[in-house]
Structure 1
């Protein structure tokens, strides 16, 4: 049964409202504002503001350790050695260097983020691309094609009578804007609908770990949240114990309020009494007619070592589930690990990051296909094989990278451009280097033609190495 636009709108909003509580909870874990778990309400009421929750924010560490390795460096058409300058111009014009990082981050935290493609009124050659949070947006997939068949974005603005709810509905042939008036959604008269008739929804989903039955993705925090709750509980209990048991407790017999004084006879504060600073009194411990029966007993303090060991065990479980090296979670040994040992410990994390690159690369390639469709007015068949270029997810040393790149170049395994890409230079830097190489070669040729051989020998030599290859070739990208 075909749904009307209003039916699509209400259906998508209902689905979004169902997901919002879980999305907000996951977001609170990343921000470190999650509620305290495992503590009895009676104890919370008793402690009140005396002891606040101690948050060990492992969820943020788990997410950031992957997100820091997801950097897009360009897009390339098939059989082209260089990245496409025009697609990179549009990428930069939309501040996608920053927005893509935010999208990757939200996808890792909440399972998904969204990318919206639209026209830019002031420049039809530069389509508008924005990244949206799952807290504001929801998309539904077609079960047959697994493509987005409808999406909605919601927000609120201050109006004369309070906040006014707005929504944008994205369908395969049209994008429309709506406003809620008197409890009913109506088309916003201030926005002209866009009947683009492209046949595809101008929305793509950045899904984290999508599955065949779960195309919207899964949060990277699912496995970590229970362990994080346990660690926060243990750390909070440790602070409660430090408050009530880590300081030695004393019991004073035969003392009155006037007896708690310092060496100069001045009364001590309540804090001094609890912590146990020096007390002075004229009373003695003898009983009977000659004594006052005064006495002080001290209990032994409690050890906090059991809390430390529990937190260490929980940290080991987090490292095991998330693929992070133990030293990321503060595990240190008397003998520091070697450089090779550290890189070996990061193997699972690197592979996990490369998997995210592959999945997100497919999304960015679909986004660029729609960008070109809006720019050119027709679908580009070559864009079906578009490739995303990612920065290396591993963390080798500069010396190792340089050594490996030079050896592959000298052995004529890779050309000069590939060598420069392996060394980590950006596409703009490589282009500038190649221009300088060409200029140096032209200058050398001019010297040869003019017979100035001495100047030729003293002048700069073209290329990074003497036997530079003339034909460049690009890197093997990670992407759809």
Structure 2
């Protein structure tokens, strides 16, 4: 059964509302604002507002460790050795250097993010590309082809009377329409005209994290570590409660009343001061009977917090194992520091995960650029089907190692000079400046050569021959010699 535009709008909004609660919870874990878990209700009621959750934000570490290795550096057509300058200009014009990082991070946290492409008013040569949060956009996939069948973007604005007004944009393969909610009903927005673009596909691209065949919407990178993070926050919070109530030695006073605990001015001392006071003095004695008061103070041994430390360390090991993080990311240190090779080896799983993201999201960004060229030119360019996303190296080799490997490959004529510079991690703008300087240096050398300066060939003038030393005069023969 084929839906109308209004039917698609209501269906997508209903699906989006059903998952927004889970998305907000995932977002709270990244921000370190998740609710306190595992704490007994009785203890929470007794502590009232004096207990604040100790947040050990491992989910943020997991997401940031991968996102920091995802840097787009350009787009290249298969028949070209250099990244395409026009596509990079459009990328820069839409501030995608910064927005792409935010899109990658949101996808890691909230399962997916979205990229929407459209025409720019007043500048047909530079289409608009926006990166959107999963809290604002929802897309549904066609079960037959796997492509995006329809998508909706929602937002809220202040109305003329100060009340909130809900707006929505519906994206379909042939048309984009704008809607506004009035008295509980969705109506076409009179301030925007329908865009009959006839692209044949929805101009919305999904950046899904770890999509699967039956889960094209992706899975949060936090899924395997949320329960461990909750357990660690609970243990850390319990440790702080124990530090306040049990780490200080507990004392019990016998034979004292409330009036006996006073300061020099006669004011009653607080209960906490009684617990941690350094010196106690009293006129009462420990004797019993008529001449004694029967006063006594005993002290219990303080609590050892080492059990909390070992539990947190064990949880950290589980997080490192599940998330593929190197031990030193979680603060593990030994008396003998790891070598550079050992550190790189420990990062191999993390690097491989980042490279998987580059492959998946590289295809998504290539689809974005196909839509950009289609909207700009009005026709589909068959070349863009082979477009390639250029990523920065996800590993962390030292500068000396990169330089040594790149130089050897270039010297052996396995790769050209431009690829060598890309392997070194230089950006496309830096490589372009280097090539300009190389060309200028070649022109200067040719000019000197035409002027007769042979040093332009790398060889200076032949040095003058030194005068040969004179042969020593023969010594006279001794007298009487025959």
Give me the TM-score of the superposition, normalised by structure 2. 0.93
Residue number in structure 1 paired with 2:164: 163
Total equivalences in the alignment: 459
Would the aligned equivalents of 2:107 and 2:209 in 1 still touch at CA under 8 Å? yes
Query: 2:268 & 2:282 partners in 1: Cα distance?
Result: 11
Residue number in structure 2 paired with 1:451: 452
The residue matched to 1:168 in structure 2 has which SS?
strand
The residue matched to 1:48 in structure 2 has which SS?
helix
Bigger radius of gyration: 2
* Deviation string, structure 1 residues 86-139 (Cα, Å, up to 9, x no partner): 000000000000110000000000110000000100211000000000001100
Query: 2:261 & 2:281 partners in 1: Cα distance?
Result: 7
Residue number in structure 2 paired with 1:254: 255
The residue matched to 1:440 in structure 2 has which SS?
helix
Residue number in structure 1 paired with 2:283: 282
Would the aligned equivalents of 1:263 and 1:279 in 2 still touch at CA under 8 Å? no
Gaps of 5+ in 1: 460-480
Query: 2:61 & 2:259 partners in 1: Cα distance?
Result: 53
The residue matched to 2:50 in structure 1 has which SS?
coil
Instruction: Return closer, same or farther for 1:336/1:263 CA change in 2, 3 Å cut-off.
Output: farther
Give the drift of 1:269: 4.2
Alignment of 1:385-404 (within 5 A): 385-404=386-405
Would the aligned equivalents of 2:446 and 2:456 in 1 still touch at CA under 8 Å? no
Alignment of 1:408-419 (within 5 A): 408-419=409-420
Give the drift of 1:357: 0.5
Residue number in structure 2 paired with 1:43: 43
Residue number in structure 2 paired with 1:431: 432
Alignment of 1:280-429 (within 5 A): 280-429=281-430
* Deviation string, structure 1 residues 12-56 (Cα, Å, up to 9, x no partner): 001101111111111111111111111122221111111111111
The residue matched to 1:252 in structure 2 has which SS?
strand
The residue matched to 1:217 in structure 2 has which SS?
coil
Would the aligned equivalents of 1:174 and 1:193 in 2 still touch at CA under 8 Å? yes
Would the aligned equivalents of 2:251 and 2:299 in 1 still touch at CA under 8 Å? yes
Query: 1:266 & 1:13 partners in 2: Cα distance?
Result: 64
Would the aligned equivalents of 1:261 and 1:280 in 2 still touch at CA under 8 Å? no
* Deviation string, structure 1 residues 117-174 (Cα, Å, up to 9, x no partner): 0010021100000000000110001111111110000011111151111000000111
Give the drift of 1:270: 3.6
Give the drift of 1:454: 4.6
- Larger CA deviation: 404-413 vs 380-389: 404-413
Gaps of 5+ in 2: 461-482
Residue number in structure 2 paired with 1:152: 152
Give me the TM-score of the superposition, normalised by structure 1. 0.93
Query: 1:290 & 1:177 partners in 2: Cα distance?
Result: 93
Residue number in structure 1 paired with 2:105: 105
Residue number in structure 2 paired with 1:122: 122
